[in-house]
Amino acid sequence: MFPPMRDRESLHTPLKLQPMPINGEWQGKIAYLDRDGVIIRGFEDYVNTPDEVEVLDGAPKAIGDLRRQGFRICIVTNQSPVGRGIWSRDNLALIHDRLRSEISSVDSDAILDLTLHSPYAPWHNSWARKPNPGMLEAGRQIIEAAESGIELAESDIKYGEDWKNRPREASSVMVGDRNVDMEAAKSHGVRGFRCHPDKGLIDVISEILVSRK
Determine contact, residues 111/70, Cβ cutoff 8 Å: no
Where do runs of H (alpha helix) occur along 69-170? 80-83, 89-106, 134-148
Say yes or no to pLDDT of 101 above 70. yes
pLDDT at position 102, please?
98
In angstroms, rounded to a whole number, what is the distance separating the alpha carbons of residues 173 and 34?
A: 11
| 27-31 average pLDDT score | 97
What is the band of 25 on the pLDDT scale with cuts at 50, 70, 90? very high
Per cent of the chain over pLDDT 90 is 93
Domain boundaries, the chain: 5-211
In angstroms, rounded to a whole number, what is the distance separating the alpha carbons of residues 104 and 58?
A: 12
| 117-135 average pLDDT score | 95
Query: pLDDT tens for residues 57-84?
Result: 999 999 999 999 999 999 999 999 999 9
What is the band of 213 on the pLDDT scale with cuts at 50, 70, 90? low
**Which amino acid does the sequence have at 210?**
V
Average pLDDT, the chain: 96
- Domain 5-211 sits in CATH 3.40.50.1000: yes
Q: Is there a cis peptide before residue 3, judged by omega within 30 degrees of 0?
A: no
What is the band of 154 on the pLDDT scale with cuts at 50, 70, 90? confident
Q: What angle do CA 76, 82, 84 make, to 5 degrees?
A: 125
Structure pTM? 0.97
pLDDT at position 212, please?
57
